[in-house]
Chain A
Amino acid sequence: MSEVRQVIIDPLVDNNPITLQMLGICSALAVTTSLLPALLMCVALTSVAALAGAAISALRHRIPNNIRIIVHMTIIASLVILVDQLLKAYAFETSKQLSVFVGLIITNCIVLGRAEAFAMHNGIGMSFLDGLGNGLGYSVILIAVATLRELFGAGTLLGYPVLETVANGGWYEANGLMLLPPSAFFIIGLLIWGIRTWRKQQVEKPEYQIHEVHRTEVY
């Protein structure tokens, strides 16, 4: 039981795919201008990660080593196309906003990374939960970033006005920078800073340190 908890809870903060493993940043920048597409992207990625984990784990004793990456990609790509088709059928408007980014889940390092690192060595149930956990870890960051960007960039949440903007006769001067990609970089950077101040063990050791030479060592 504790193992199950660990697999699901760990990726939320302690081993978060975005803020610690630095994976999946591209889509985190692109789909977070407003909350609704970000939520849909979270659902899409989480379901692909969980199902791909389960499918790859089920086949793990049969997958030949030399074509394993191609096998992973085939399974992930099929799931992504499935999700994309479902979105086009049942969430048409939002799927237009997501445009290419659902398709790009195929190349999202979180999914392939978990397939390679976890699903190839663990049982079906655990691999499913691991995909779910990592998808949720990605979702937590995406939702946080999208909430901040939509709230301060457009004064709305899920399209409903929260801060009345000046353009609509209110008091809030919308910050246009929040709707541009760089703001996602800033917000994710600040989040990483915040998390690492809270959880000191995530701070990496510096890879390089200037060695102070004492004058007696010079010769």
Chain B
Amino acid sequence: MPDKKDFDRDSISNTLIVAIGLSLVCSVIVSSAAIVLKPVQEKNEEQFRQQIILDVAGLMEPGADTADLFAAIEPRMVELASGDYTDVVDPNTFDALAAASDPELGMSIPKDLDIASIGQRAKYAPVYLVRDGDTIEQLILPVYGKGLWSTMLGYLSLAPDGTTIKGLRFYAHAETPGLGDQIDKEPWRAQWAGKQVFGDGDEPQIRVIKGTVPANAPDADYMIDGLSGATLTANGVTGLVQYWTGPHGFGPYLKNYREGSQ
């Protein structure tokens, strides 16, 4: 290959041309790939979200089609303030994060109530009902809140008594791999099954503590083992579960439920 002897590639003009030109070309390539592939990725994400709902409900069957299994689950919209069902928005197309900042659908959360650190939320939220004939077997609530690095989004499954937890699973988070990401790993996740959200009152009692839950503690039903090295992530999980089951979240809905009015 002939060397271009008279061309000074270390000159300031060439440095600028290469730097700017390369940045432009690379950014065009990267952003067009992101845009072209977005629909496929979103479909994957949606399918994954449905799988998580099925998984937290214990309905996931290996090899079965997600959409078929998901058809057995009934999504309903709830108006959070009153705790009643509503048909104002379609639960299948509802996007909680987009609705939270929408002037019509969203509202800001007072600072002292915002234990999930999310700032604002939608006035409505979907619930997923798992039925066996007419009787409801599980209520699956979407929950989200800030962890250490990221917003953690997941689903909490409750028994029909509105207080016994069946499971908690996250479908999106960016917590520290190896430490905070244990929130979505089996040994820690398994502890949630059978724990209680509410004691006597309407305030949720469930929390992630520091260290392991003492076996003989009187309120062991309301405590989850801490995650060593991931205290802030664990605090975030406590915050989001308490917020969404609390009086400002699904509290009124769950109260109706516990009192048997729906």
Verify A74–B23 contact, CB threshold 8 A. yes
A71 in contact with B177 (CB, 8 Å): no
Per DSSP, chain A at the interface is helix
Looking at A77-85, A191-199, A209-217, the stretch in contact with chain B turns out to be A77-85
Task: Quote the shortest CB–CB distance from B152 to chain A (angstroms).
Answer: 15
Whether the pair A66, B22 counts as a contact (CB closer than 8 A) is no
Contacts of A74 in B (CB 8 A): 22-23, 26
Q: A residues within 8 A CB of B23? A: 74
B188 on the interface (CB 8 Å rule)? Answer: no
The distance in angstroms between the C-alpha atoms of A63 and B11, with both chains bound, is 11
A24 lies within 8 A of chain B by Cβ:
no
> Any chain B CB within 8 A of the CB of A75?
yes
Contact in complex: B19, A67 (CB < 8 Å): yes
Partner of B18, one of A71, A86, A92: A71
Q: Is the Cβ of B30 less than 8 Å from the Cβ of A90?
A: no
Binds A, one of B36-44, B93-101, B198-206, B218-226: B36-44
CA distance A99 to B14 in the complex (A): 38
Most buried by A among B4, B11, B44, B48: B44
Q: Give Cα distance in the complex from A96 to B19, angstroms.
A: 33
Contact with B along A65-107 (1 / 0, CB 8 A): 1110011001101100110011011101000100110000000
A88 touches which one: B29, B37, B177 (CB < 8 A)? Answer: B37
Which chain A residue shows the least CB distance to B37?
Answer: A89
B48 / chain A contacts, CB cutoff of 8 Å = 92, 96
Residues of A within 8 A of B40 (CB): 89-90
Bound-state Cα–Cα, A78 to B30, Å: 6
User: Secondary structure of the B side of the interface?
Assistant: helix
Which B residues from 1 to 34 make CB contacts under 8 A with A? 1, 3-4, 7, 9-11, 14-15, 18-19, 22-23, 26, 29-30, 33-34
Q: How far is the CB of A164 from chain B (nearest CB, A)?
A: 18
State whether B9 touches A62 (Cβ < 8 A). Answer: yes
**Closest Cβ–Cβ distance, residue B50 to chain A (whole Å):** 13
Q: Chain A residues near B34 (CB, 8 Å)?
A: 81, 85
User: Do B29 and A78 touch (CB < 8 A)?
Assistant: yes
B interface vs A, CB < 8 Å? Answer: 1, 3-4, 7, 9-11, 14-15, 18-19, 22-23, 26, 29-30, 33-34, 37, 40-41, 44, 48, 177
Name 13 interchain pairs, CB-CB below 8 A, sorted by A: A59-B18, A59-B22, A61-B4, A62-B9, A64-B10, A66-B15, A71-B22, A74-B26, A78-B29, A85-B34, A85-B37, A99-B177, A123-B1
Report the 6 A-B pairs with minimum CB-CB distance, sorted nearest first. A92-B44, A78-B26, A89-B40, A64-B15, A89-B37, A85-B33
